[in-house]
Each structure stands twice: as C-alpha cells, then as structure tokens.
Amino acid sequence: MTDDITINKTIDIRGQVCPYTFVRSKLAIEKMNVGEVLEIILDHKAAVENVPKSMENEGQKVLAVEQTSEKEWRIVVRKDKEKKKT
Amino acid sequence: MCPDSVGTRGYKGEIMEFTEDQILRYSRHILLPEVGGEGQERLLNAKVVLVGAGGLGSPVGYYLAAAGVGTIGVIDNDRVEISNLQRQIAHNSSRIGVLKADSAKETYETLNHDVNVVTHKERLTSANIKNIIKDYDIVVDGSDNFPTRYLVNDACVMLKKTLISAAVFRFEGQLMSIYPGDGPCYRCLFEIPPPPGMVPSCQEAGILGAVTGVIGTLQATEVIKAILGIGEPLKGKLLLWNALDMSFRIVKVPKNRECPVCGEHPTIKDLIDYEHFCSMSH
C-alpha cells in the first residue's frame, strides 16, 4: 500500500516506450527537490522493470511498483540524490 | 567535479523546459548519469569558439553542434578549396569558393537548429583576437600555423579562457587542455615558436584525413567535458596519438614558473604577431 505517501508530482507517460519512459521520468525528477516523491503512470511493460532499475542506479529510492489495471502501472520514486557527479 | 566547469543552470536558476524535439534529440545524453537534463542545458547555454574551420575545426564543430552547444563561433577567412575536402568534413564539393566560416555555419545549423553559429571572417591578429574571444567560454585551437597557435595561447592566458589545443601532422596528433591559472599553457611546453623553415607547414607535410577526425573528435570530447564539468581534463598532460601503430601516450607537462606568459614574472605582456611562414596562410 502506498496510499499514505504524499505524491509531489505525477507524470502520465502512457504511450511512451523505452528509453523515453526513463528519459521523461528523469527529466521530471531532476526538477524536484530531494525528499519529494514522483509518481509515474505508464503502460509499457518493459519500462516497469527498467525505470525503477535506472532510478536506483542514479541513487533514487523506488517506493512502489504497482499494477493498476491490465495494462497500466504506477511507479513511485522518492528523490534521494541530485545529479551524479564524477 | 572539475572546478573549471562552465555554463549555467538556466536563466532563473530553474531547469529549462525541453521541447519534444529536444527530448528526442538529446535523449542519449539525458540518459547518462553525468549529463541528464541539467547537463544538456549547460551545453545549450555554452559558447565555444573554433579557431579555424579546417581539418580539426570541422569535426569539433560537427560534434559540438550535434551535442547542442548553443553558440559556436567560427573564425576563418579562407575559402573552401577542392584540396580541403579530403579531411575538412564541414564542407563539400558544392561549397568550393565559399568562405569556410559560412560553409561551416550552413553545415552545423542544418544538423541542429538549436545551434547559432557566429561567423568571424577574419584572420586573427593581436589587434582583434581579444575582442573576438572575450564573449566565449571556451576556445578551440585547430589552427594550422605557429603564429596563430601562440597568439591564441597568449590571448587565452591573458583573458583566462579555457583553451583546448590540438595539432596534427602526417599520421600523428596531439591534444592538450589549458586552464589558465591552473596548470601549464602551450608556452610552458614549447616556449617559443620554431624559426621559419625549421618545420614544414602542413601543406608541405601531408596529413591523413582521418587523423584530423580522430584528434578533432577527442578535442570535441574535451570541450564537452569542460562544459559539463565531468571527468579529468587533459590539464598538465599532453596526449600523443600515432595512427600507424595506434598508440596513445600521455606525457605530463609541468607548469613552467619561468614561462614568459603564464609564469611568475611574465615578460610577454602584449600579444605578438609572429611572422607567418606557412604558405597556406594566404
């Protein structure tokens, strides 16, 4: 259950496929402050695995991945980190 | 992070909104953890000037335009000749006789409409160089002669402009990034130009076309790293590449305290117009 999580921003990227699912999710979370929560609504099955994996690679916290209907999912991510520096 | 990064984080401290085309065009940059939307915005806000639109300048400008570097200056007063086309890929057969700066502008702006190419159709001299380069973040030297190379180095030291300097010769190339005030300059490495007649000009020496592409592409990579403030720049290091045995070598270059332009007691305080001895200068 993720009902008790405050969502700061939601993006609806239904119709988008990889890698643009992550590109758009990343652009959205870049604009948010650390600690804020992004909700991503999508319908591209491969992205349900790829977007959380990529978010974690960049240091963000995936709070939930839920199937909301036959072909739709929601991913909830908390921004834990600003852009990776080298 | 490299402390010498340039560019800004948007005009009002906020991350810009990309257009749909920009999201698609720059998606492979945005995917990189070290770039992202913020890095792409830095590229779009960056101002880079190319000294020469020849063998090196052509690929540098091509990759900078593709990367979305928003303002690219091109300094060149030569016209495209058929003998250039073996290596100078910004130009083509239909542009013979056209000024290289105009030809490069057409090529780069056609590749990417986000890019504004500013042409400077004049030969660099001690009188005009500072005024031309002062508005840019980074200077890229792809010149084909020593007088220009030293002029560009000295002007960049005096104006504290990041300089990405490269040269090619036959099957070899070299590359060095100069951050004035933080590491050596070109004169720390070679204090004075060779005397006229000592070194063949590139017109006399010949050059494998693809060598300019390799070194120019490395040069473009150093520019993009500098804009993004990522990785380790070739600061205090000279990269040497030989095409025939495919060897890369990096030689450490110490800062010369006695350097006449960036040393502790500089003796060069005014820019110098050395005598041009390269026949292709004209």
* pLDDT for the residue B15: 63
Catalytic residues of A: 18
* pLDDT for the residue B10: 39
Judging contacts by C-beta atoms under 8 Å, the chain A residues touching residue B231 are: 86
Coil, strand or helix at A59 = coil
Which range is least confidently modeled, B9-13, B80-84, B98-102, B263-267? B9-13
Cβ–Cβ contact A9 with B under 8 A: no
Q: What is the DSSP letter of A22?
A: H
Cβ–Cβ contact B243 with A under 8 A: no
pLDDT class of A2 with cuts at 50, 70, 90? low
Which range is least confidently modeled, A53-62, B116-125, B229-238, B265-274? B265-274
Q: Which residue has the tokens 């690219």?
A: B72
* pLDDT tens by residue, B49-108: 999 999 999 999 999 999 999 999 999 999 999 999 999 999 999 999 999 999 999 999
Residue spans per domain, chain A: 9-78
Q: Which of B1, B15, B230 sits opposite A30 (nearest CB)?
A: B15
pLDDT class of B203 with cuts at 50, 70, 90? low
Residue spans per domain, chain B: 27-281
| pLDDT of B44 above 60 | yes
Topology (CATH) of B27-281: Rossmann fold (3.40.50)
Q: Which of A20, A24, A26 sits opposite B36 (nearest CB)?
A: A26
pTM: 0.91
| pLDDT of B48 above 70 | yes
Kindly determine whether residue B31 and residue A26, on different chains, have CB atoms separated by under 8 Å.
yes
**Nearest residue of chain A to residue B9 (CA atoms):** A31
Q: What is the 3-state secondary structure (H, E, C) of chain B?
A: CCCCCCCCCCCCCCCCCCCHHHHHHCHHHHCCCCCHHHHHHHHHHCEEEEECCCCCHHHHHHHHHHHCCCEEEEECCCECCHHHCCCCCCCCHHHCCCEHHHHHHHHHHHHCCCCEEEEECCCCCCCCHHHHHCCCCEEEECCCCHHHHHHHHHHHHHHCCEEEEEEEEECEEEEEEECCCCCCCHHHHCCCCCCCCCCCCHHHHCECHHHHHHHHHHHHHHHHHHHHCCCCCCECEEEEEECCCCEEEEEECCCCCCCCCCCCCCCCCCCCCCCCCCHHHC
User: How much is the average pLDDT of B126-154?
Assistant: 96
* Shortest Cα distance, chain B CAs vs residue A53, angstroms: 13
pLDDT class of A32 with cuts at 50, 70, 90? very high
| pLDDT of B13 above 90 | no
**Nearest residue of chain A to residue B10 (CA atoms):** A31
CATH of A9-78 among 3.30.110.40, 3.40.50.2000, 3.10.450.50, 3.40.190.80: 3.30.110.40
* Shortest Cα distance, chain B CAs vs residue A58, angstroms: 6
* pLDDT for the residue B195: 81
User: Would you state the structure tokens that stand for residue B178, as one six-digit string?
Assistant: 């100069």
